[in-house]
Structure 1
Amino acid sequence: MNYFKTILIAVVYISISISVIHAQVHNKSWESITEKEEGPWFASKEAIAIAENVLLYQRDIGGWPKNIQMQKPLSEKENQELLAAKKSTKGCTTDNRATYQEMIFLSKMYRQVSDERYKNAFLKGLDYILEAQYDSGGWPQFYPLKKGYYTYITYNDDSMYNILRVLEEIKNKTDYFSIQPSEETVERVKVAFEKGIDCILKTQYKQNGVLTSWCAQHDENTLLPAKARAYELPSLSGKESAKIVLLLMSIENPSEEIITAVNSAVAWFEKVKITGLREDRFYNEKGKIIDKKMIPDPDAKPIWARFMELDDNTPFFCDRDGIKKATLAEIGAERRNGYAWYTNEPKEVLKKYPKWKKKYGIKPVETKTLKKKLKNEFNIVVTKDGSGDYTSIQEAINNTKSFPYQRVTIFVKNGIYYEKIKIPEWNTNISLIGESKENTIITYNDYFGKMNLGRNSTFYTYTLLVEANDFYATNLTIQNTSGEVGQAVALSVFSDRVVVENCNILGNQDTLYTSGDGNRHYFKNCYIEGTTDFIFGKATVLFENCTIHSKKNSYITAASTPKGAKYGFVFKNCKLTANEDVTKVYLGRPWRIYAKTVFINCEMGNHIKSDGWHNWSKPEAEKTAFYAEYKCFGEGFKPKERVSWSHQLKNRKAKKYTIENILGSKTVDIDYKWYANFK
């Protein structure tokens, strides 16, 4: 009797336990279920039922969609829909812990229940991760690639960190996962992990030559900080950087590069931590956050801003309009309350750092930079790795002689230089020479709305600004990467006697600004691209043997030539190209009514509109502007269909368009052929 009573009590107890567990699991998030401690529950009927959902949601490619509560029961209709979607790759991602969580769950299941389907699904997920990796070592947010910011290397919400933790456990052959891949796959994992770490080291941001932290997203090609959603601007991240550093600290016998990266990041965390401030949250009766306020509190524990300026670490906050604000209180309630703007995650880094440092006998990185004594002040070398005279182009310019009698050559070795560069009026006679135009890249991402300096904000958006006379540049890519967000200048030239040769000048609207009364500029063998008015200004400019590429149906030039100037923009032997979907491009329109623009011996693609020129709704400009062509060719050259107020030059007049006439000096103290003196 006692025996049966014992059994009955046990059965009742188990039933009650299962019921309680079911209630607990049903009310929990999928993330919390995957984080449950391994044990008998993963052999329960409830767990097995959830596992069926996990298998069903996995696509044939191996990945899973995000934000799915896998524990929720499925209807027969939902089952059929998921089976039909198996071959689809839409939505497969590693964002928001997707794929990572499902693999964790399947591993815990397989340790309790030897169902080969769990193992196969886990390994398929691993193959998906390996397949999705870029050659640069990073991972996109979605794979197959989804257009937009989703292609960027994604540290946001610890996406890449989670991937690398999976790979680390597998390559180290720990027992963290119950499923062990083949030796061949383990070797692939080792390679992928090393590439991932290398990517992390290469994307650590240098601020004035000093390593700091990481952005939430980095461009998959340039590796530079990149913009995601409107309120997620390029910035240094106090949140995502923490897990990256913890990952680097987990690597046994770290290399010198890893040690330097960790030391530098820790120094940065210490530098930018916020003290004396706490975040208070206010909830409604349903437990939803309805407000957040930052309250001064001398006893508050350190916190870090999620977004900080790339050049000076200043915290900032954004609403969906993408405009930076100085405080959390300045943005609307929806974004203020629905996003994590502060974090305390770096505290774990600072807690573990002393033990890590002691383990490897590591000395903190020396953050002070010693001024180098130049070997030759007229031949300066800039390198990213510190082997030259400077690591920053701006730093090199700042330390050159003012108004030198001798030409100063600044040689810039291959690398991506995320800098907003200004060559002041007193730094004359500078030659900025890149190692190669493909791999020596000067880039920045300011734009009109971001500058927010009033109606003239365009002129502050430059990546490179030249105010000094007698400037020469070659073998460089100069770009503004802000995208199609309005006016955003890559290169601004406000000086006289400037030569730019064999360079890429990249942007969208207002890519190249060439200005100044009487200033003369010479662009030779360059590639210049943009969308609207991407070559504009009032300087006299000769473009020779250049490729002029339109990325959008719009206008190539917007000259503002001063009244009385003999020449404005002159294009000789150039090639006009466009994106495949571009079919309606004007050669130019007058920013000011005396605009002058001439195309000579240029090949024009079929994207050029037959009427050629536009008056910008300024009828008076049809009498004052001078727009002309001479012996051009290609599908876009249709002289008989051009607007009546444009010109086709006669031979006699075309002969006047020589380099000597266009650019030649009229003063006795300057060489007449100044444009040939810089090499």
Structure 2
Amino acid sequence: MKLHFIYIITILSLNIQAQVLDKSWRAIIYQKEDAWFGSREAQDIADNVLLYQRDIGGWPKNVQIHKKLSDKEKRHLLKLKKETNNITIDNGATTQEMLFLSKMYRQVPNIKYKTAFLQGLNYILEAQYDHGGWPQFYPLRSGYYSHITYNDDAMVNVLKLLKELKDDTGFYAIKPSGETLQKVNKAFEKGIDCILKTQYVQNGVLTGWCAQYDEHTLLPAKARSYELPSLSGKESAQIVLLLMSIENPSPAIKDAIIHAVEWFERVKITGKNIKHVYANGKRVDKKLISDNNASPLWARFMELDNNKPFFCDRDGIKKETLAEIGQERKVGYAWYTREPQEVLDKYALWNLKNSKSKTRDLNEEYNITVAKDGTGDFVNIQDAIYASKAFPYQRVIIHIKNGVYQEKVHVFDWNTKVSFMGESREKTIIRFNDFFKKMDLGRNSTFHTSTVLVEGNDFIAKNLTIENTAGEVGQAIALSVNANRCYFENCALIGFQDTLYCTGEGYKHYFKNCYIEGSTDFIFGEATVLFQNCIIHSKANSYITAASTPKDQLFGFVFINCSLTASTGVSEVYLGRPWRMYAKTVFIGCEMKNHIKPEGWHNWSNKDAETSTFYAEYKCIGEGYKPDDRVPWSHQLNTSDVEIYTVEHILGTEFTQDLKP
């Protein structure tokens, strides 16, 4: 019985050790159980770490350091101590061994761990170029190994380590001397300066970063044959996350982050996914497939002049698609990434925390200027709203200069009588990228996705664009209007599903000379809304409106003299379907292209809605206007019917008297 028990314990011990040794070296370093680093097994591995460290202070890469060493292997490693070849920060080398030693020292405060850690730190400080960058290998090797290396986050990993030390966060158990910390602080500042200097300027606009740069000219450089000079979605993401972690960032750092986020929005790939193909348990192919439910992708390599993704085999010849390169590189390299999504997810909070900076004192409280270039009172629209009077006696006019304002904007219910006066519809752009699944706040997540949310009565907006850039990912609102007497003129509202939400029982909204585009139900809600001389553009075969008009409300959505257009290939669009039973939608004198279905209206699979809704048209024109083919439960108005469809009747005289800002 006793022997049997000993046998079981022995087997269990072997299994526990096997569980550790079967892990990768990186997995062991980052495991969460801190107490394990005080174990005998951890100390044995730590001895290996010390053996692999060279006298210069760094470590080689791609070594499974935790694997048990024979006496012969140990003697060989001792002979290599003075060697300086192949010592690197690439693939996490050196920084990850230093982290392991720090975790060891926290549990077992042996001076040998601290000494080795500080040797590693000295190696990192010595390897830095005067301009702030780090080479992939040090001592320097010829070829791309000497380039400033962002590839695989090499330089970012170093800067993260230095930041933890200089900020004295306690993340590392080993604290350098005061003199060394001064060097650490200087090295970090030089590293950030290098990052700012190497942010790529495309047609005069800051974008992202390349994977490596020439150490002399600081220009984008080539690495391996298939790693050509290019903008990188992956490496840029980790650089921006590092910049966003800096407390009290300088204007230059803020500018770098803002432009990088705007670039991520421009170059993201939506409606696509990566499919891995396996045979006999081995990955044999990788394909880019259509998937409207997939989260956005970013290309690993993009052209420097136009952001177009490209792919390469070991012959170094650019290809336009993943399918054009050979199986070995196709399967064996990460050509796409989702890492920038973390940047976009964290940006709103960062922006809220760091962008509240007035450029000068607010001299006129009823006239405020917002300008991205710092020439106004604020650089962000939301900051101007925070500074606006609550329930003012006169109108607060916020002048918004041309620029892309990457932010969620909320006009609170106490911010009444606010006007957004854009410099131009084409160049004054407010955009963000929230969508239903991203918000993940339950069944009503749609209503949290707005780029701009208006809750203050008597709001006016002119000459600007409001956009939700999430793409074809489901519900994603560009503009939500939940306030009374709101007026929009010469504005563009751009999105896909649920672009414009007009709500509030009894509330009235007016859109004049506006451009509104979307795919499904892209104009929806319960408010009374007049659309006059607007372009309503469908981007998919779906539904334009989804009204939820309250039962006793006289008007729902009214379109007068609007033009209904569609993207190429769109040919089956309904004028509307009822989100709620008493939906009211009327088109008067509108031009309808041939994408409008002959039946015109849909009951949303609810037969009862056919008797409770009010869907009507009057003297429309175009190939899509086919009154004789409309569903029998819709209406064609006559001259006497349309007499009530005037601005005054629909919106009321109180509304129409205060349209001017």
Q: What TM-score comes out, normalization by structure 2 length?
A: 0.53
Asked if 1 retains the 8 angstrom alpha-carbon contact of 2:355 and 2:379, the reply is no
Q: Decide which of 299, 304, 309 is 2:346's aligned counterpart.
A: 309
Q: 1:429 Cα shift?
A: 0.5
The SS at the match of 2:365 is: coil
Q: 1:311 Cα shift?
A: 2.7
Q: Decide which of 432, 436, 450 is 2:424's aligned counterpart.
A: 436
Q: Decide which of 525, 532, 555 is 2:520's aligned counterpart.
A: 532
Determine if the alignment matches structure 1 residue 644 to structure 2 residue 627: no
Quickly say closer, same or farther: Cα 1:214–1:618, change in 2 above 3 A: same
Post-superposition Cα deviations, 1:213-256, rounded to whole Å, max 9, x if no partner, equal 54997666976988897998799xxx99xxxxxxxxxxxxxxxx
Post-superposition Cα deviations, 1:343-394, rounded to whole Å, max 9, x if no partner, equal xxxxxxxxxxxxxxxxxxxxxxx99956842110000001112221111111
The SS at the match of 2:347 is: coil
Name the amino acid aligned to 2:497: Q
Determine if the alignment matches structure 1 residue 404 to structure 2 residue 404: no
CA distance in 1, matches of 2:619, 2:522: 24
CA distance in 2, matches of 1:217, 1:226: 16
The SS at the match of 2:493 is: strand
Asked if 1 retains the 8 angstrom alpha-carbon contact of 2:262 and 2:406, the reply is no
Q: 1:573 Cα shift?
A: 0.5
Asked if 1 retains the 8 angstrom alpha-carbon contact of 2:582 and 2:613, the reply is yes
Match of 1:327 in 2: none
Give the unaligned 5+ runs of structure 1. 1-26, 29-35, 38-96, 98-102, 109-131, 139-152, 178-188, 241-304, 315-365, 666-670
Asked if 1 retains the 8 angstrom alpha-carbon contact of 2:356 and 2:383, the reply is no
Q: Decide which of 465, 471, 474 is 1:477's aligned counterpart.
A: 465
Match of 2:644 in 1: 656
Determine if the alignment matches structure 1 residue 630 to structure 2 residue 618: yes
The 5 A counterparts of 1:32-43 are none
CA distance in 1, matches of 2:355, 2:530: 46
CA distance in 2, matches of 1:499, 1:560: 20
CA distance in 2, matches of 1:535, 1:656: 23
Determine if the alignment matches structure 1 residue 673 to structure 2 residue 656: yes
Match of 2:285 in 1: none
Post-superposition Cα deviations, 1:523-546, rounded to whole Å, max 9, x if no partner, equal 000000000000000000000000
Asked if 2 retains the 8 angstrom alpha-carbon contact of 1:547 and 1:574, the reply is yes
Name the amino acid aligned to 2:396: V
CA distance in 1, matches of 2:259, 2:372: 22
CA distance in 2, matches of 1:169, 1:433: 41
Quickly say closer, same or farther: Cα 1:660–1:609, change in 2 above 3 A: same
Match of 1:322 in 2: none
Name the amino acid aligned to 2:604: W
Match of 1:22 in 2: none
CA distance in 2, matches of 1:221, 1:634: 40
Q: 1:417 Cα shift?
A: 0.6
Q: 1:564 Cα shift?
A: 1.1
Asked if 2 retains the 8 angstrom alpha-carbon contact of 1:606 and 1:635, the reply is yes
Match of 1:376 in 2: 364
Name the amino acid aligned to 1:457: S
The 5 A counterparts of 1:84-233 are 135=203, 155=209, 160-162=210-212, 165=214, 168=217, 211-212=253-254, 214=257
CA distance in 2, matches of 1:626, 1:231: 37
The SS at the match of 1:458 is: helix
The SS at the match of 2:611 is: helix
Quickly say closer, same or farther: Cα 1:226–1:472, change in 2 above 3 A: farther
Match of 1:464 in 2: 452
Asked if 2 retains the 8 angstrom alpha-carbon contact of 1:218 and 1:224, the reply is no
Q: 1:308 Cα shift?
A: 6.7
Name the amino acid aligned to 2:346: E
CA distance in 2, matches of 1:208, 1:405: 37
Asked if 1 retains the 8 angstrom alpha-carbon contact of 2:348 and 2:408, the reply is no
CA distance in 2, matches of 1:599, 1:208: 52
> RMSD of the alignment, in Å?
4.3
The SS at the match of 1:476 is: strand
Determine if the alignment matches structure 1 residue 391 to structure 2 residue 379: yes
CA distance in 2, matches of 1:371, 1:137: 22
CA distance in 2, matches of 1:624, 1:658: 24
Q: 1:168 Cα shift?
A: 3.4
The SS at the match of 2:461 is: strand
Asked if 1 retains the 8 angstrom alpha-carbon contact of 2:574 and 2:601, the reply is yes
Post-superposition Cα deviations, 1:178-235, rounded to whole Å, max 9, x if no partner, equal xxxxxxxxxxx9xx9xxxx9xx99xx98999954454997666976988897998799
Q: 1:136 Cα shift?
A: 5.5
Quickly say closer, same or farther: Cα 1:638–1:134, change in 2 above 3 A: farther
Quickly say closer, same or farther: Cα 1:631–1:623, change in 2 above 3 A: same
The SS at the match of 1:310 is: helix
The SS at the match of 1:410 is: strand
CA distance in 1, matches of 2:259, 2:399: 32
Name the amino acid aligned to 2:597: K
Post-superposition Cα deviations, 1:594-645, rounded to whole Å, max 9, x if no partner, equal 0000000100011000000000011011001000000101010011000000
Name the amino acid aligned to 2:460: Y
Q: Percent identity?
A: 50
Asked if 2 retains the 8 angstrom alpha-carbon contact of 1:234 and 1:310, the reply is no
Asked if 2 retains the 8 angstrom alpha-carbon contact of 1:583 and 1:607, the reply is yes
CA distance in 1, matches of 2:501, 2:216: 48
Name the amino acid aligned to 2:419: S
Quickly say closer, same or farther: Cα 1:552–1:209, change in 2 above 3 A: farther
Post-superposition Cα deviations, 1:483-504, rounded to whole Å, max 9, x if no partner, equal 1111000000001000011000
Quickly say closer, same or farther: Cα 1:484–1:167, change in 2 above 3 A: farther
Match of 1:541 in 2: 529
Post-superposition Cα deviations, 1:273-311, rounded to whole Å, max 9, x if no partner, equal xxxxxxxxxxxxxxxxxxxxxxxxxxxxxxxx9887113
Name the amino acid aligned to 2:660: F
Quickly say closer, same or farther: Cα 1:170–1:385, change in 2 above 3 A: closer
Name the amino acid aligned to 1:479: E
Q: Decide which of 535, 556, 561 is 1:568's aligned counterpart.
A: 556
Quickly say closer, same or farther: Cα 1:559–1:457, change in 2 above 3 A: same
The 5 A counterparts of 1:313-392 are 369=357, 372-392=360-380
CA distance in 1, matches of 2:538, 2:355: 45
Asked if 1 retains the 8 angstrom alpha-carbon contact of 2:531 and 2:562, the reply is yes
User: Matched residue pairs, number?
Assistant: 392
Give the unaligned 5+ runs of structure 2. 1-61, 64-84, 87-135, 137-141, 148-199, 224-228, 274-292, 302-341
Q: 1:104 Cα shift?
A: 6.2
Post-superposition Cα deviations, 1:20-67, rounded to whole Å, max 9, x if no partner, equal xxxxxxx99xxxxxxx99xxxxxxxxxxxxxxxxxxxxxxxxxxxxxx
Quickly say closer, same or farther: Cα 1:564–1:308, change in 2 above 3 A: closer
CA distance in 1, matches of 2:375, 2:259: 29
Quickly say closer, same or farther: Cα 1:390–1:621, change in 2 above 3 A: same
Q: 1:312 Cα shift?
A: 3.1
CA distance in 2, matches of 1:630, 1:367: 50
Asked if 2 retains the 8 angstrom alpha-carbon contact of 1:515 and 1:539, the reply is yes
CA distance in 1, matches of 2:355, 2:498: 38
The SS at the match of 2:628 is: helix
The 5 A counterparts of 1:416-431 are 416-431=404-419
Name the amino acid aligned to 1:673: T
